[in-house]
Amino acid sequence: MGEILDILLTAGFWAATVRIMSPLIFGTLGELICERAGVLNLGIEGIMTVGAMSGWMWVYQGGGLWDGVLFAAAMGMIFGLLHALFTVHLGLSQHVTGIGITMAAASLSYFVYRMLLPDATTPPKIEPFKAVPIPLLSDLPIVGEALFTQSPLTYLAFLTVPTVWYVLFRTPLGLAVRMAGENPVAVEAQGLNVLAIRTGAVMVGSGLMAIGGAFITMSWFDAFYFNMINGRGWICVALVIFASWRPGKALLGALIFAGLEALQVRAQQSAGAIIPYQFFLMLPYLLSILAMIVMARRAEYPKALLQPFRRGDRV
């Protein structure tokens, strides 16, 4: 116990937590936007892989870091558009489409990586985002290092939370998105285009997921590995349920998960001899399942989640 307390008091632990949180925030918010509009996006795992690969590759091929982020987001949006075409316009199974997108997107990423770097035996590296200390704030004890000496992408992640909240809950556009996830017929009856709104939401959400993936190769690490996303996308899907589809709670959920993962890495170093590292690595997955069990009864699903909408269905 004492050891854990010691860890919790170090700035390094909190800095790591905040870093690990960042891709989870992007991914969870991206999924949240899709689901708020009524579309479950299980393509997330593949879309994060696409983001991780394309953002990194852009920089490796000589592009700028921020261009790389934009490029990753654009690639994510293309796969989001594909998901929307299938699930929103053709009304096909959201479950199976999502799995199909994940399979196609992930394998395509590996294919492209191999095509462009056929001979690389060890993964080549790029110069990733550097920490940008925020003047004055970064001088604060612990908090300064944990929160205000981070990569610009992390700051972006934290800015995304209130932005998504504001758009969803305070603007006419957000109202239309939420309504599309609650009762698409009502949206149609008010003269708005449900298909366009859902398509837009899925594309924007997918763009955010891809940025989450890009964070991993462009800010956290500096190279692209096989199986790099390693289930983070699925954890984001669980986090959305945990968060009851609310951006603020999504931030909280990401914090808890990232904290445990950071703790796990540090605890491994001290307790690794006694408890095998695999059990630490299992924790996030088991916790995700646990989180869904705990929240299941209280979960207020968007009422039209998983329901395809066809024009004139009930008129």
Partner 1 sequence: MLTFRNVTKRFGTLAANDGISFDVEPGEVLALLGENGAGKTTLMNILFGHYQADEGVVEVDGRPLPGGSTDAAIKAGIDMVHQHFTLADNLTVLENITLGTESLWSLRQDKTGAKRKIAGLVETFGLAVDPDAPVRSLSVGERQRVEILKALYRDSRVLILDEPTAVLTPGETEQLFRTLKALTADGLAVIFISHKLHEILAISDRVAVLRAGKLVGIVETEAADRRRLAEMMVGREVERPALDRVAAGDAVLDVEGLILKSDDGRLLLDQVDLNVRAYEIVGIAGVAGNGQSALADVLSGLRPDFEGKVEHLGQSIRGVSPRHLVERGVGRIPEDRQASGVVGEMAVWENLASEDLRNPAISRAGFIDRKAALSRADRLIEAFDIRCKGASAETRLLSGGNMQKLILARALSPEPAFILANQPIRGLDEGAIAYVQSQLLEARERGAAILLMSEDLDELMAFTDRLAVIRDGRLSDLRPTAEWTIADLGLQMSAQRATGRVEAGLVGAGHAD
Partner 2 sequence: MRIEPRETVSWLRVGLAPVFAVAAALFLCSALILWAGVSVPEAYVLLLKGAFGSAFALNETLTRSIPLIFTGLAAAVAFRAKFYNIGGEGQLYAGALAATFFGTGLLTLPPVLMIPFLMIAGALAGGALLIVPVLLKTRLNVDEVVTTLLLNFVVILLVGYLIEGPWKDPMALGWPQAASIIDEGVLPPLLAKGRLHLGLIIALAAAVLVFVMMRTTVKGFEIRAVGHNAKAAEFAGIPVGRTIIVTAMISGGLAGMAGVSEVAGLKGYLTLDLSPGFGYTGIAVAMLAQLHPLAVVPSAIFLSAMFVGADAMSRAVNIPTYLADVMVGISVLAMLVAAMLAQYRVRWRG
For partner 2, the binding residues (CB under 8 A) are 40, 42, 82, 86, 89-93, 95-108, 110-111, 114-115, 118, 230-231, 234-235, 237-238, 241, 276, 278-279, 281-282, 285-286, 288-289, 292-293, 296-297, 310-312
Beta-strand ranges (E) seen in the chain are 132-133, 149-150
16/88 with CB nearer partner 2: 88
Quick one: what does residue 103 bind among partner 2, partner 1, none, with the CB cut-off 5 to 8 Å set by partner type? partner 2
**CA distances (Å), origin 216, targets 175, 189, 204, 213:** 32, 43, 19, 5
Q: Closer to partner 2 by CB, 136 or 293: give it.
A: 293
Q: How far is residue 240's CA from residue 248's CA, in Å, rounded to a whole number?
A: 11
Contacts to partner 1 by CB under 8 A: 170-173, 175-176, 178-179, 182-183, 185-193, 300, 303, 311-312, 314-315
Cα distances (angstroms) measured from residue 65 to each of 22, 128, 200, 219: 17, 7, 26, 10
Q: Which residue, 98 or 259, has its beta carbon nearer to partner 2? A: 98
Q: Of partner 1, partner 2, none, which one sits near residue 263, judging by CB under 5 to 8 A according to partner kind?
A: none
Q: Roughly how many angstroms between the first and final C-alpha of the chain, as a whole number?
A: 62
Whether the CA torsion 98, 103, 104, 105 is positive or negative: it is: positive
279 binds, among partner 1, partner 2, none (CB under 5 to 8 A by kind): partner 2
Min separation Cβ 191 and partner 2, Å: 17
Q: Output the smallest distance, CB 98 to partner 2, in A.
A: 8
Q: How many other C-beta atoms lie within 10 A of the C-beta of residue 279?
A: 11
Given a contact cutoff of 8 angstroms between Cβ atoms, the answer to whether 58 and 71 are in contact is yes
Beta carbons of 7 and 263 less than 8 angstroms apart: yes
Q: What is the DSSP string of 210-242?
A: HHHHHHIIIII-SS--TT-STTHHHHHHHHHHH
Q: Which is nearer to partner 2, 107 or 269 (CB)?
A: 107
CA nearest to 19, candidates 210, 287, 215, 205: 215
Give the shortest CB-75-to-partner 2 separation in angstroms.
Answer: 15
> Considering CB distances under 5 to 8 angstroms, the limit depending on partner class, which of partner 1, partner 2, none binds residue 255?
none
CB of 238 to partner 2, least distance (A): 5
Minimum distance of partner 1 from residue 313's CB (angstroms): 9
Residue 61 or 171 having the CB closest to partner 1: 171
Residue whose CB is less far from partner 2, 95 or 130: 95
Q: Are 157 and 215 in contact (CB under 8 A)?
A: yes
